[in-house]
Structure 1
Amino acid sequence: MSPSRDGRSRDPRRPASSGRSGRGSAAKDGRQERPRASGGGEPQRRRTRRSPAGSGPARPGAAARPRGDGGPSGPAPPPRRRFRLVNPQRRIKLSLVMMVVIMLVFAGRLIQIQGIEAERYAAAAEQQRRTTIDIPTTRGAITDINGNPFAMSVESRLVFVDPTEIRADQRGELIGELSERFGLDTDAVAAKVDATPSRYQVIEQNVPPQEWKDLAAHGFQGLGAMVDYKRIYPDETGAADLIGFTNAEGQGAEGLEAVLDTTLAGEAGRQQVDLAASGTQIPMAGGLAKDPVPGKDARLTLDQDVQWHAEQAIAERSEELEADGGSVIVMRPDGEIVAMADYPTYSPQDIDSSTAEERSNGAVAEAFEPGSTNKVITAAGALEEGLTTPDTVYTVPYSIQRYDRTFKDDHFHETERMTLNGIIAKSSNVGTIQVGEQLGKDRLYTYLGKFGIGQPTGLDLPGENAGILTDPDDWWGTQLPSISFGQGLSVNAVQMASVYATVANDGVRVEPHVLAGTVDEDGEFTPAPDAKKERVISKETADELKLMLEAVTGEDGTAEKARIPGYRVAGKTGTANRVDPETGSYKGGGHTSSFVGFAPADDPQLIVQVVLHNPKKEYYAGKAAAPVFTDVMTFALKSLKIDSTGTDAPNIRLMENE
C-alpha cells in the first residue's frame, strides 16, 4: 500500500472514486451524493482547501478533493451546480403585473387620442387625407371691335375612370366604347381601366358636353367627367399670327394669347379632394372651397371682315408672284390697327402641322429696307426745318457720284429740273439725296427717330424686330445719301405704316395699338389706356406732304395703279434691294416691294401698308404691291362705310416749266 498525501495508506486493489456521477447518481431532490470510501466505510469528510498561507477562506470556486480510504489519490471531480426551481406563482404574478402596466399605457394613449386630443388628431388625419385642387375657369375671349370672336373658350368635359368602381361584367364593353368613341388604342384604354391602386385615370380631354351626355347614358359604373374648357378659334386663319394660341395647360403661348395672358386667364377656383392610398386625387370627393373667376374678354381694334379680306389678298398676291412672304397693315391715323395680315400663316387649331416661320408674325418680326417709302421722312425733315418748299426746284441728273459709289434713279432720264413735289412723285433717288444733304445726317437721324424708326412699335408682340438705325457718328461716307432714299436702315411693316399715319394725323404720331379695352363677366367695357402721342411735324408740313403723296398716284406718278374710283388717294411706292444673308451683299438677295398710302387724301381715315418679300415674277412696287393696296383699301372703305370727300385733287407742280 502506498501512502496518501495525508499519510494514510490506500488499498491499491480498489480504484479511487472518480468523482463523476453516473446515471441515477443524483438524489431525487437534486442534491449530489457524497463520494464514499472504497472500503465501504463512512463517507469521507469534505475538507476545505486552505490558502497557501494556511489560513483564510478557500479559493473561490475550489472544492475539497475527496479521498479514498487509504487508496491512491486521483483527480478532483468538477464542482456540481445546484439548481432551484422558481416558484411558478411568482412568475405568473410578475407576468400579470407587466401586462397590466402595458394595458394601462395603451389605455392612457387611447384616452389621450380619442378623448383629450381627439379633435386635433382628427384634423391632422383629415389634413393628410384631404387636399385642394384648382378648378378651371373660363378664359376670356379675344374679339374684334364689334365683339366677333377670334378666340374663345367653350365648355367641355374631362372624361376619367375610377378602376376600383368598374364592374367586371361591364369591363369589356366599357373599353370597347371608350376606344371606339375617342379613337384611342384599345390596350392603352385597358391599361387605364385596370390600373391599380389608382382611382383616377384620365381617358380624354376636350369632350363636348353632348358627347359626354351620350356616353354617360350607357350607365357604366366607375366612369365620370369633370367640367373643363376648350380653346377654339372660329375663323381658323383669322389673324392667327397676331392672335397666337394657348398651350396644353391653357396658358398663352404665342401672340396676343401670351401678351394678354394675365387679363384673359382669370383666377382658378379651389376644390377640396380626397387622396387615395396611392396619393391619387379623387375629384368626386370634397367640396367647393373657392369659386372660379372668369377671365376678361380682350376687345381689339381689329375689324374681322377687313382682317379676313386683307389675309386673302396678301396670300393670293404672294402666291401669284412667288414671293417668300408678305404682310398687310390697315391702320387709322390715331394708331388703331384695323387689320394685321401675314403670309404664310397657319391654323391655331392644328399647331403641330405648322412651322415656326408660318407662326411668326411677319408684320413686326420681318425687318426690311423701306426703300422709297422712306423718302417722305427726308422731305418732312427738310420742310419742317425750313430748308425747302414743295415748289423748290432741284437739278436732278440720272446719276451722281458720292465717294466710291454711283447712285442712280430707277429709270434713265436726262437731267431734269424737278420740284420737291416732282422728286417725291417720280421717286427720284438722286433728287432725294440732294434734299437729304441739305438736312444733314444729325437732323435726318433725329426725324427718323421721331417717326418711330429704330425703336419698338409699342405693341409688345413676341418676336418683334425693331429694325436697324445706326448712330450718325458711325455713318460712313455713303450712308447719308443711301439712308435719305431708304437704304442702309431697316424697318418692320408696322413702323412704316405708323410713319404715314403720322402724316395723315396732321403730324402727330400716336403709338400703334391693337387693344381697344377689356370686358368683364358683367359685360362692362373698360377702355385701354390712351396711347402715347407726340407731335413730330407741324400741321402745315403734314398738309404739304399729303399733296406730294397724292401726286404719286396721279398720271405722272409711280403708282397710278393705286387709284380708287371716287376717292382721292395718297401714297408712296418702295422698291428696295434685299441683303443676301449668306454673302452679306445685295447681289442675289432679291427685292422688297412695298406700297403705303391713305385715303381719302384730303381727310385721311385709313392707312394701308403692303409688303411683299422677294417676289420673283414682278418686284417693282407700282406693279407688284400697289394692286394689293387698291384691293384692300377699296374693301375697307366700303366695309367701314367711309365716304368720299367729293373734292377734286388740285394741280401739283412737278417740274420747273409746268
Structure 2
Amino acid sequence: MARLNHLYTSQKKVRGKKISTKSPHNNFTLVGYAISILAGLILFQIFRWQVIDSESLKLLASEQYQSSGTQTASRGKITAADGTILAVDQPVWDIFATLSTDETERAKFFNEKDKFVTEVASILGVEKSTIEEKITDDFVYVSLAKNISTDIKNALAQDEIFGTGTAGFGLYFENKEQRVYPNGSLAAHLLGFIGKNAEGEPLGQYGLQGYYFRDLNGSEGYTYEEKDSAGNVILTSEYDPILPREGKDFTLTIIPNLQTKVEEQLAKGVKDTRSKSGSVIIMDPETGAILAMANYPTYLPAEYWRISEPWILKNRAVSDVYEYGSVQKPITLAIALDAGTIKEDYTCNDKTGSLDLYKETGYLDLKGRFIYTWNKRPNGVLNIAGIFAKSNNPCAAKAGLTVPLPTFYSYLQAFGIGQFLGVGLQDESTSYMKPLEQWTLLDQITASYGQGISATELQVVSALSAIANHGTRMRPYVISQISDEKETIDIKPQVLSQPVSKEVADIISKDMAEGVQQDAFGGLAKELKNYKIAGKTGTAQVAKSDGVGYLDNLSNATAIGFAPYDDPKFIMIVKLEEPQVSTYASYTSVPVWQDIFLAIKDDLEIQKGN
C-alpha cells in the first residue's frame, strides 16, 4: 500500500513542482462564456446591419440591380437680328496625365518621359517646364491643362508618342461645355455672362443671361433602370426617364453692324472727353426695338473675372438713374400744348435771364431765389423752337407752370417717368418719382427743365420716342424671339401709352428740328444741319450721393435726337458721365452723337435734307 501511495505521490511531482488539477465544470464555464460573447457579437452585427447601416446597405444592394443617372441639357444660344451668334456653348476638354501602379506600364512611360513632355507641351503651346514639373516619379493622376479646344484634344488623343498603337497612352480627357462669345466684347452689357455661385455651379449674371438664366440653361434629364443579374435592363412600370429640357434660344433685335460702330465711336468719345463712362441706346421709335445698346468701359464676357471695378459690369444705360437735364424741355412744352394751356405760336419774353421763384410760387422761403439761363443772360422773345435752341430754363419753367400741377404730374407718368419698363435685363432699374401729394410748385418748376427729376437712360429715350413716333410710346424691347424644340415665341411691338396727340407730337418734332438748325446742338455739330434731325441736349449737375445738393464742376451730359424728324427711322441717346474737358453737352456728348450718326446713317438709309 505504501508503494502505491509512493507511486501516486510521485505522479503529482515533476522536478519538485506541483501540477494542479481542474474540475471539468470550469471548462464548461469557459465554453459558455465564449459562446455568449460570440452570440453578443452576432446580435450586435445584426443590429448594425438592420438599424445603423440599413440605408447604406440598401443602397449598396440596389446598385446591384438598379442604376440612375443625369443627362446634361444644352444651354441655349443667343443670336443677333441677322443670325450672328453672340453667345453659345461649345465643348472643351480638361487634359490629365494618368498612370496605373503597374510597374511595366510605369516603366514604359518613364523611359519615354522626355518625349511625352516635349510632344504634349508642343501641342498645348506651353513651355516644357509647365508639363515637366507636374510629371513627378510617383504621379498617378495630374491635371495638365483646362478648357482645351476639341481640335487640340484630338491632336493629343491621336499622337502615338510611345510608338505604333499607343495613341492616348498616359492621357485622360474630360469633356465639358464652356460658354463662348465669338464676337468678343460685342454687346457685352446686353449679354451679361455665365459666372459661378458660392457652390461653384454656373450662374447667369447681369444682362440677358442673368435675367433669363433658367430659360437659357434648361434642365437636366434623369434616368432610372432595373437590371437583371447579367446587367440587362428590365423594362418595368418604374422605368420612366425624365428627358433633359434643352435651353431656349434667344434672338435679339440688335444689328451687329450698328452695334460695332456704336461701340467704336463711344469708346473714342469717352476717351476724348475724359469721361468716367459713356452709354448709348439706338431704338426704332415706331416699334420699340432696340437696334444698339453700348457702354464704355466694357469687358469680355468670357473673361469677366479680369474686371477689377464691379461697376464696369453693369449696363449703365438701364441701371443708372440720373438727373437728365434739358432733354426734358420738349416733354414740358408737349405737355403744355396737349393740355391746351399754350398754343403752337407760344412765345416767352425773357427780359432778365432769370425767373423769380418767390414771385412764381408765393413761397416765403424762396424770397431772393432765382433760376437762370445757362449764362445768366436774357434771350428776349423766344418761340418754342427758340426755347429749345437756347435751352432757356426760365421759359421752360413758365410753360410748365401754365399746367395745373396734378395734370403735369399725370403727363409725366404717361411719358413713363418713374415707370419700370421691363426690357428683360437683370440690372435694369427704375427712377423714383415721389408721390403727387409731396410735390410743390418748386418741384414743377425744376422738373420742367430736367433738374430734380431723374430717370434711367432707357426711360429718357422711351419718353422722347413718344414725340418721335407721333405721340405713341412703344415698349422698348431687345428680344425678338424665344424658341426651343417645342415652341417659338415671337415678341411683337406693344403700345405703352399715348401721352400726347399726333398733332402735338409733330409740332414739337418740327420745333426740335428747327432748334437744331438754330444751333441747339452747338457749333461743333454743323454737319448735322445737313439732315432732318430733331434734337436736344441736356446738361445736369451731379447730385451728391451722401446729402442734399450737387457736386461742384461735375455734370452728366446728354444728347438725344431722331431722324428724319417727320418720319424717324431711329432715335438715339448719348450720355457721358462726368466729362472732364467741359461740363456742357454741346462740347461733349453732341460730338459723340454726331460721330455715331455719321457712321451709321448709310446703314439706316438716312438721306441729306433739311
Q: Is the 8 A contact 2:520 2:536 kept in 1?
A: no
SS in 2 for 1:612: strand
Q: Is the 8 A contact 1:192 1:201 kept in 2?
A: no
Residue 354 of structure 2 corresponds to 399
Match of residue 339, structure 1, among 278, 281, 292: 292
Q: Is the 8 A contact 1:158 1:207 kept in 2?
A: yes
Equivalence map 1:368-387=2 (5 Å): 368-387=322-341
What is the CA distance between 1:212 and its match in structure 2? 0.9
Instruction: Tell me which amino acid in the other structure corresponds to 1:145.
Output: A
SS in 2 for 1:350: helix
Q: Which moved more, 1:621-630 or 1:545-554?
A: 621-630
- The 1:438/1:139 distance shift into structure 2, 3 A limit, reads same
SS in 1 for 2:602: helix
Q: Is the 8 A contact 2:205 2:426 kept in 1?
A: no
Match of residue 579, structure 2, among 590, 608, 615: 615
1:248-283 Cα shifts (integer Å, max 9, x gaps): 54432222111121222133355899xxxxxxxxxx
Q: Is the 8 A contact 1:157 1:206 kept in 2?
A: yes
- The 1:540/1:512 distance shift into structure 2, 3 A limit, reads same
Distance in structure 1 (CA, Å) of the matches to 2:536 and 2:498: 22
Residue 414 of structure 2 corresponds to 450
Distance in structure 2 (CA, Å) of the matches to 1:193 and 1:379: 81
What is the CA distance between 1:131 and its match in structure 2? 6.0
SS in 2 for 1:380: helix
Larger Rg: 1
Distance in structure 2 (CA, Å) of the matches to 1:378 and 1:165: 82
SS in 2 for 1:553: helix
1:168-208 Cα shifts (integer Å, max 9, x gaps): 1225466776677375955884479835xxxx866543221
Distance in structure 1 (CA, Å) of the matches to 2:74 and 2:96: 21
Q: Is the 8 A contact 2:68 2:224 kept in 1?
A: yes
Residue 505 of structure 1 corresponds to 469
Query: 1 or 2, which has the higher helix percentage?
Result: 2
- The 1:291/1:225 distance shift into structure 2, 3 A limit, reads farther
- The 1:439/1:251 distance shift into structure 2, 3 A limit, reads same
- The 1:569/1:84 distance shift into structure 2, 3 A limit, reads closer
SS in 1 for 2:92: strand
Q: Is the 8 A contact 1:139 1:296 kept in 2?
A: yes
1:219-261 Cα shifts (integer Å, max 9, x gaps): 3446332432221112222111221111254432222111121
1:551-589 Cα shifts (integer Å, max 9, x gaps): 121135444627547631111111111124466432425
SS in 1 for 2:417: coil
Identity %: 26
Match of residue 301, structure 2, among 344, 348, 354: 348
Equivalence map 1:445-594=2 (5 Å): 445-476=409-440, 478-520=442-484, 525-528=488-491, 531=494, 533-555=496-518, 557-559=520-522, 561=525, 564=528, 567-581=531-545, 584-594=548-558
Equivalence map 1:628-647=2 (5 Å): 628-640=592-604, 642-644=605-607
Q: Which moved more, 1:526-535 or 1:182-191?
A: 182-191
Match of residue 143, structure 1, among 54, 57, 79: 79
Distance in structure 2 (CA, Å) of the matches to 1:192 and 1:391: 92
1:480-525 Cα shifts (integer Å, max 9, x gaps): 2111100012222111111121112221212211111124369x75
Q: Which structure is higher in RCO with an 8 Å CA cutoff and minimum separation 6? A: 2
Instruction: Tell me which amino acid in the other structure corresponds to 2:386.
Output: G
Q: Is the 8 A contact 2:78 2:252 kept in 1?
A: yes
Q: Aligned pair 1:230/2:175, yes or no?
A: no
Residue 20 of structure 1 corresponds to none
Q: Is the 8 A contact 2:282 2:573 kept in 1?
A: yes
- The 1:272/1:204 distance shift into structure 2, 3 A limit, reads farther
Residue 194 of structure 1 corresponds to 139
Match of residue 433, structure 1, among 390, 397, 400: 397
Q: Is the 8 A contact 1:165 1:221 kept in 2?
A: no
**Where does the alignment leave 5 or more consecutive residues of structure 2 unmatched?**
13-19, 47-56, 161-166, 226-239, 358-365
**What TM-score, normalized to structure 2?**
0.77
Distance in structure 1 (CA, Å) of the matches to 2:183 and 2:521: 37
What is the CA distance between 1:590 and its match in structure 2? 0.7
What is the Cα-based RMSD across aligned positions, in Å? 4.1
What is the CA distance between 1:319 and its match in structure 2? 0.7
- The 1:204/1:414 distance shift into structure 2, 3 A limit, reads closer
Q: Aligned pair 1:257/2:209, yes or no?
A: yes
Instruction: Tell me which amino acid in the other structure corresponds to 1:548.
Output: D
- The 1:168/1:614 distance shift into structure 2, 3 A limit, reads same
Residue 206 of structure 1 corresponds to 147
Q: Is the 8 A contact 2:470 2:501 kept in 1?
A: yes
Q: Is the 8 A contact 2:563 2:569 kept in 1?
A: yes
- The 1:329/1:133 distance shift into structure 2, 3 A limit, reads same
Equivalence map 1:183-332=2 (5 Å): 183=126, 189-190=134-135, 194=139, 203-217=144-158, 218=160, 219-221=167-169, 223-248=171-196, 249-269=201-221, 292-332=244-284
- The 1:527/1:201 distance shift into structure 2, 3 A limit, reads farther
Residue 91 of structure 2 corresponds to 155
Distance in structure 2 (CA, Å) of the matches to 1:147 and 1:575: 38
Distance in structure 2 (CA, Å) of the matches to 1:321 and 1:556: 21
Instruction: Tell me which amino acid in the other structure corresponds to 2:336.
Output: A
- The 1:515/1:165 distance shift into structure 2, 3 A limit, reads farther
Q: Is the 8 A contact 1:175 1:189 kept in 2?
A: no
Q: Is the 8 A contact 2:281 2:573 kept in 1?
A: yes
What is the CA distance between 1:390 and its match in structure 2? 2.2
SS in 1 for 2:321: coil
**What TM-score, normalized to structure 1?**
0.72
Q: Which moved more, 1:524-533 or 1:436-445?
A: 524-533
Equivalence map 1:56-67=2 (5 Å): none
Residue 385 of structure 2 corresponds to 421
**Where does the alignment leave 5 or more consecutive residues of structure 1 unmatched?**
1-22, 31-81, 110-120, 274-287, 650-658
1:54-85 Cα shifts (integer Å, max 9, x gaps): xxxxxxxxxxxxxxxxxxxxxxxxxxxx9798
Q: Is the 8 A contact 1:562 1:630 kept in 2?
A: no
Q: Is the 8 A contact 2:385 2:515 kept in 1?
A: no
SS in 2 for 1:518: strand
Instruction: Tell me which amino acid in the other structure corresponds to 2:280.
Output: V
Distance in structure 2 (CA, Å) of the matches to 1:551 and 1:567: 11
Q: Is the 8 A contact 2:521 2:590 kept in 1?
A: no
Distance in structure 1 (CA, Å) of the matches to 2:590 and 2:485: 44
Q: Is the 8 A contact 2:288 2:493 kept in 1?
A: no
Distance in structure 2 (CA, Å) of the matches to 1:459 and 1:424: 30
- The 1:247/1:557 distance shift into structure 2, 3 A limit, reads closer
Q: Which moved more, 1:123-132 or 1:423-432?
A: 123-132
Q: Is the 8 A contact 2:93 2:148 kept in 1?
A: yes
Distance in structure 2 (CA, Å) of the matches to 1:599 and 1:24: 140
Distance in structure 2 (CA, Å) of the matches to 1:319 and 1:289: 57
Distance in structure 2 (CA, Å) of the matches to 1:424 and 1:513: 29
